[in-house]
Amino acid sequence: MDKAEITIIGAGVVGLAIGAELARQGQQVVVLEKNLRYGQEASSRNSEVIHAGLYYPTDSLKARLCVRGNRLLYELCRKNNINFRNTEKLVVARNHEEINELQRLRLLGESNDAGRLVILDKNDLKTIEPGIKGHAALLSTTTGIIDSHGLMAYFIKLIENNGGTIVYDSEVSAIDRIQGGYILHLSKDTYNFFSRLVINSAGLHSDHIAKMVGIDIDKCGYCLSFCKGEYFSLQKKLNVSRLIYGVPCQDGLGIHLVINLGGGLRFGPSHFYVDKIDYIVDPAHKEEFYSMCHDYFDGIEKEDLLPDTSGIRARLSQEKNGFRDFIIQDESDRGFPGFINLIGIESPGLTAAPSIG
């Protein structure tokens, strides 16, 4: 039987970041990916934002890993020619009531050490972004955008240059706990091999992998729900240079204006739960996007919005609302030594990836 020292399940940005760091340290690493290419799910279907870390409770994993990851990403990009832009971000208050939320976010961001944060009044907002409607805004100076595919390609190069292996079209169908490690069974060709350590970074399917090894995912709070987010692209130019967000809502950050590295503009993602994975964008949802556009921008018509892409977030489902932190757990205490779960790694997972690794 073939043997591996460390096996990572999932070649999304987080699994690849972990693999790159372990391979750099001289570990023997195998990364398994069920798809034909890397990063085909959440890692490539998102806003590609480098988050600052101003939304998450202080000392949570999301806060600590996001803030550290923000700094690591900018450093990685500059040193390794990965395309990025420090666009900055504005969180815009539509009325006086929302200004109080801007103050709360600023204090939380400062507590998290999330970079320079500045409250702008209406006149200041008009000065730096004349095309935006709003009563005030919070400026986040360390927010940016990144080429997520370029980042993942960089991690793959590190893995392979340091002797690691990435195996595509290799879905794990069963895991057996044995003395000293685990036997992983792959659905293709009924192949199996031994691994001393297993890191579950399977994203949307990470709860299923945890259940496969024998963990009671209901008892542990590991069950995931699929939260779909759609994007609509804007077919006209806007006089805007920064990412534009509304004040966050209970379910997340809400629909926001996303700038891509090519200069294109998208609005999204929306937020609704689904029972199965599909990436179809429903044109009937245009009204929701138009309503958001109208709140913050003048001169946009419904005809200017076209269905674009969508993504699915792996959200911990023990509660549909409220804060959910990342789960990064060594399962030794549950009787599974050498098995590490990463579950519920949704936003800001892209930003946090290098610090998780």
pLDDT at position 255 is: 87
Number of domains in the chain: 2
> What are the pLDDT digits (tens) for 31-73?
999 999 999 999 999 999 999 999 999 999 999 999 999 999 9
Are residues 241 and 333 located together in one domain of the fold?
Answer: no
Contacts 24+ apart (CB under 8 A), 319-328: 320/225, 320/273, 321/250, 321/251, 322/250, 323/56, 323/57, 323/60, 325/56, 325/57, 325/60, 325/61, 325/62, 326/61, 326/62, 326/65, 326/352, 327/221, 327/222, 328/61, 328/356
Q: Evaluate whether residue 302 is within a structural domain.
A: yes
CATH code for the domain of 171: 3.50.50.60
Are residues 310 and 250 located together in one domain of the fold?
Answer: yes
Q: Evaluate whether residue 70 is within a structural domain.
A: no
Q: Evaluate whether residue 82 is within a structural domain.
A: no
Among 81, 76, 235, 74, smallest CA distance to 145 is for 74
Are residues 165 and 311 located together in one domain of the fold?
Answer: no
Q: Evaluate whether residue 271 is within a structural domain.
A: yes
Are residues 182 and 287 located together in one domain of the fold?
Answer: no
pLDDT at position 150 is: 98
Q: Evaluate whether residue 301 is within a structural domain.
A: yes
Average pLDDT, the chain: 95
Are residues 294 and 326 located together in one domain of the fold?
Answer: no
pLDDT at position 251 is: 63
Widest Cα–Cα separation across the chain: 69
Q: Evaluate whether residue 73 is within a structural domain.
A: no
Are residues 230 and 311 located together in one domain of the fold?
Answer: yes
Residues of the chain with pLDDT under 50: none
Are residues 295 and 236 located together in one domain of the fold?
Answer: yes
pLDDT at position 116 is: 97
pLDDT at position 156 is: 99
Are residues 218 and 232 located together in one domain of the fold?
Answer: no
Q: Evaluate whether residue 66 is within a structural domain.
A: no
What is the extent of the structural domain holding 162? 3-47+149-222+321-356
Are residues 299 and 153 located together in one domain of the fold?
Answer: no
Domain boundary among 301, 316, 331: 316
Q: Evaluate whether residue 246 is within a structural domain.
A: yes
Are residues 297 and 241 located together in one domain of the fold?
Answer: yes
Are residues 328 and 305 located together in one domain of the fold?
Answer: no
Are residues 279 and 335 located together in one domain of the fold?
Answer: no
